Chain A
Amino acid sequence: MGSAPASIAVIDYGMGNLRSVWQALVHVADDREVVVTSDPAVVAAAGRVVFPGQGAMPDCMRELEARGLRSAVLDAAKNKPFLGICIGLQMLFEHSEEGDVPGLGVFAGSVRHFPAEKMLASEGDRLKVPHMGWNEVAQAQAHPLWKGIADKARFYFVHSYCVDPIDRNCIVGMTDYGIPFTSAVARDNIFAIQCHPEKSAQAGLALLANFIGWKP
């Protein structure tokens, strides 16, 4: 391990299993070091930061605060390649309906539950929530992280809430599930995505590899 700064830090705030994210990054990272850390100093020293999350956003926010990681996340989001995944996307927004909690406010807008009255498929079947499985991500804008990934490639999703950005210019991915919803956003050094690239086979690995090589 040594004392060299970690090239890629996966932020661990005690919510859920980060092994899958770590494994997938290691798989595409060549010889770069990938560490899972809850140490703000390690996050600050890292060249790139991955901000994952699973479970409920109120729990995630609480644990992030409790571990003193809030400012480390905000700093990283200002100045180095930063990848939010799932709840790690949702927490970047101002507010979530889930538990009525504030988020980090990196992006203006809120996180909302899939609207029950819109959860209908074309034949009138009910759509299940959570939205679980492989769905298409339409590339709303070109972005270096989409390099080599087909427009409307399928990624693996598991979530019941989705983000609703106020500034529509940040939207780089859109997905349909009862409603069209924002599945990826980007601005400057930040890219954040609702699905799980670490579980999305070749498309997901390509996105992670693009992140590792990204020079925003």
Chain B
Amino acid sequence: MALAKRIIPCLDVTAGRVVKGTNFIDLRDAGDPVEIARRYDEQGADEVTFLDITASSDQRDIILHIIEACAAQVFIPLTVGGGVRVVADVRRLLNAGADKVSMNTSAVDNPDLVAEASAKVGNQCIVVAIDAKQVAPGQWEVFTHGGRKRTGLDVVLWARRVQQLGAGEILLTSMDRDGTKNGFDLPLTRAVSEAVDIPVIASGGVGNLQHLADGVTEGRADAVLAASIFHFGEYTVRQAKEFMRERGIEVRL
């Protein structure tokens, strides 16, 4: 009997629609984030993460309506990231029904935002997302702006710093692996997970179920996040959990 490792499907949303849609059969609207979140809940997802990649600021409030609708129907934790710049943004998302808010570029630009938000709403609500690229063997640098801008920050040191600032969790994405389907960057995941006391969510590169299991066993991640393998119906969340349980990993089934 132990804490379950979590499986977290991630939805990229822009202007209220899920990017790329999904291949769920019998889904009335493949681009509707609420309907997709419900489907994941039914499959046994432990949480759902929305990443709002809406470019134009006048469409930013759309995500709030999505969160409101989702929170009325899906009773598992919801995390929302994207476009969070000030504490008021955190509050708006939480008030709409998000349980955790994730910040990335804004945390690097303004570390006080993490501290201030954590002090106001509690560290259990604050996730810092870190986009990492390998720069030398066993060394990774933090990138921002969707991986376009390097920061000069060492990933492990930054992870420790955000913990001190008040992050309750780290969402760690390997930019090298993201979209490759070659599996997580396991040395990166392990280095960060062992460097901090807060939970680490591994992200970037999942192509099959073995990759999810590896993230937990070799990467020592507390949770694993994936998008495309679930969206396109290759695997259900339930299949992923059954696979992990067969390999001795505690999951909620």
Please give the residue numbers on chain A whose beta carbons come within 8 Å of chain B beta carbons, in ascending order: 16-17, 19-20, 23-24, 26-27, 54-56, 121-122, 125-136, 138, 152, 154, 156-159, 176-177, 198-201, 204-205
Tell me the chain B residues, 1-22 only, with Cβ under 8 Å from chain A: 1-6
Decide if B222 touches A128 in the complex (CB within 8 Å).
Answer: yes
Decide if B75 touches A27 in the complex (CB within 8 Å).
Answer: yes
Decide if A55 touches B122 in the complex (CB within 8 Å).
Answer: yes
Per a CB cutoff under 8 Å, which of A23, A176, A205 touches B2? Answer: A176
Decide if B75 touches A201 in the complex (CB within 8 Å).
Answer: yes
With both beta carbons as reference points, the residue of chain B lying nearest to A86 in the complex is identified as B124
State whether the Cβ of B61 lies closer than 8 Å to any Cβ in chain A: no
Decide if B1 touches A130 in the complex (CB within 8 Å).
Answer: no
Given contacts A16-B121, A201-B41, A201-B75, contact A130 B46 (CB under 8 A): no
Decide if A133 touches B222 in the complex (CB within 8 Å).
Answer: yes
Tell me the chain B residues, 66-97 only, with Cβ under 8 Å from chain A: 71-72, 75-77, 94-97
Given contacts A132-B199, A133-B6, A135-B4, contact A54 B75 (CB under 8 A): no
- Residue among A20, A129, A159, A198 having the largest count of chain B Cβ atoms under 10 Å: A20
- Residue among B2, B6, B72, B169 having the largest count of chain A Cβ atoms under 10 Å: B2
Decide if A156 touches B222 in the complex (CB within 8 Å).
Answer: no
Residues of B within 8 A of A17 (CB): 94-95, 97, 99, 121, 125
Decide if A152 touches B4 in the complex (CB within 8 Å).
Answer: no
Per a CB cutoff under 8 Å, which of B1, B75, B220, B223 touches A133? Answer: B223
Tell me the chain B residues, 108-135 only, with Cβ under 8 Å from chain A: 121-125
| Tally of chain B residues near chain A (CB < 8 A) | 32
Q: Taking the nearest CB of chain A, how far is it from the CB of B202, in angstroms?
A: 14
Residues of A within 8 A of B76 (CB): 156, 199-201
Residues of B within 8 A of A157 (CB): 3
Given contacts A54-B122, A130-B198, A136-B1, contact A199 B222 (CB under 8 A): no
Decide if A128 touches B198 in the complex (CB within 8 Å).
Answer: yes
Given contacts A20-B97, A154-B4, A199-B75, contact A132 B122 (CB under 8 A): no
Given contacts A133-B4, A135-B2, A158-B124, contact A23 B71 (CB under 8 A): yes
Q: Is the interface of B mostly helix, strand, loop or mixed?
A: loop
Residues of A within 8 A of B3 (CB): 127, 131, 133-135, 157, 177
With both beta carbons as reference points, the residue of chain B lying nearest to A119 in the complex is identified as B197
With both beta carbons as reference points, the residue of chain A lying nearest to B220 in the complex is identified as A125
Decide if B97 touches A134 in the complex (CB within 8 Å).
Answer: no
Residues of B within 8 A of A199 (CB): 75-77, 99
Please give the residue numbers on chain B whose beta carbons come within 8 Å of chain A beta carbons, in ascending order: 1-6, 41, 46, 71-72, 75-77, 94-97, 99, 121-125, 168-169, 197-199, 220, 222-223, 252
Cα A94 to Cα B68 with chains together (Å):
37
Residues of B within 8 A of A158 (CB): 124, 168
Cα A163 to Cα B4 with chains together (Å):
22
Residues of A within 8 A of B121 (CB): 16-17, 55
Decide if B99 touches A132 in the complex (CB within 8 Å).
Answer: no
Residues of B within 8 A of A56 (CB): 122
Given contacts A23-B97, A126-B197, contact A134 B6 (CB under 8 A): yes
Decide if B77 touches A156 in the complex (CB within 8 Å).
Answer: yes
Decide if A121 touches B2 in the complex (CB within 8 Å).
Answer: yes
Decide if B168 touches A134 in the complex (CB within 8 Å).
Answer: no
With both beta carbons as reference points, the residue of chain B lying nearest to A125 in the complex is identified as B220
Per a CB cutoff under 8 Å, which of A19, A132, A176 touches B124? Answer: A132
Decide if B223 touches A204 in the complex (CB within 8 Å).
Answer: no
Q: Taking the nearest CB of chain A, how far is it from the CB of B91, in angstroms?
A: 9
Q: Taking the nearest CB of chain A, how far is it from the CB of B156, in angstroms?
A: 16
Residues of B within 8 A of A131 (CB): 3
Decide if B2 touches A130 in the complex (CB within 8 Å).
Answer: no
Cα A125 to Cα B168 with chains together (Å):
19
Q: Taking the nearest CB of chain A, how far is it from the CB of B37, in angstroms?
A: 12
**A-B pairs with beta carbons under 8 Å apart, 16 shown:** A16-B94, A17-B95, A54-B124, A55-B122, A56-B122, A128-B197, A129-B197, A133-B3, A133-B5, A134-B3, A152-B1, A158-B168, A176-B1, A177-B2, A200-B75, A201-B75
